[in-house]
Structure 1
């Protein structure tokens, strides 16, 4: 749920707003009744790099992929007509 708050309310209730954001709430901040900013929780992002120790550990897990099933999954997920 998105809540609208004024710039003054944000200034005066900063700690409460940050606690609410940490709890998953989103706020639109207004100045003179006009929206100027959005405050929302940060979405977790996927790691760009994998540590070599993690890669080695995962590679040794013995996960096997069936190439035909993998190809079928790709064909179903991606338009192959291009």
Structure 2
């Protein structure tokens, strides 16, 4: 995980366009006041785009095959084998 660059409150005020362009490009910042971190500026997650049934089918045709037995074995090895009901009395 990379360290976010720090910018001062004054930098944010005076370089807001430059900083907003960087955020739009995926950069994150930690905002400081009097040398103390007070917040973070992070880009919003982009909305997923709709994939049509036809496009999904086309992508699926080129997907690698799955060895179902190996997949089930992996699931069984990692999954909790007994239920643990937190509300059981």
Question: TM-score normalized by structure 1?
Answer: 0.58
| 2:20 is the counterpart of 1:12 | no
Taking the TM superposition and a 5 Å limit, the aligned residue runs for 1:54-69 are: 54-61=55-62, 64-69=65-70
Q: Which residue of 2 aligns with 1:3?
A: 5
SS in 1 for 2:80: coil
Deviation string 1:2-50 (CA, Å, 9 cap, x unpaired) is: 23322221010123323544363x31223455544311244567x4753
TM-score when normalising by structure 2:
0.56
Q: State yes or no: 1:50 paired with 2:38.
A: no
Change beyond 3 A, Cα 1:4–1:60:
closer
What is the aligned-residue RMSD (CA, Å)? 3.3
Give the direction of change, closer, same or farther, for the CA distance of 1:5–1:63 in structure 2 (3 Å limit): closer
Which one has the bigger strand percentage? 1
Task: Point out where structure 2 has 5 or more consecutive residues left out of the alignment.
Answer: 84-89
Distance in 2 separating the partners of 1:23 and 1:59: 30
Q: What is the number of equivalent residue pairs in this alignment?
A: 80
Superposed CA deviations along residues 55-79 of structure 1, whole A, max 9, x for unmatched, are 2213444854332112012123322
1:29 aligned to which of 16, 28, 31: 31
Gaps of 5+ in 1: none
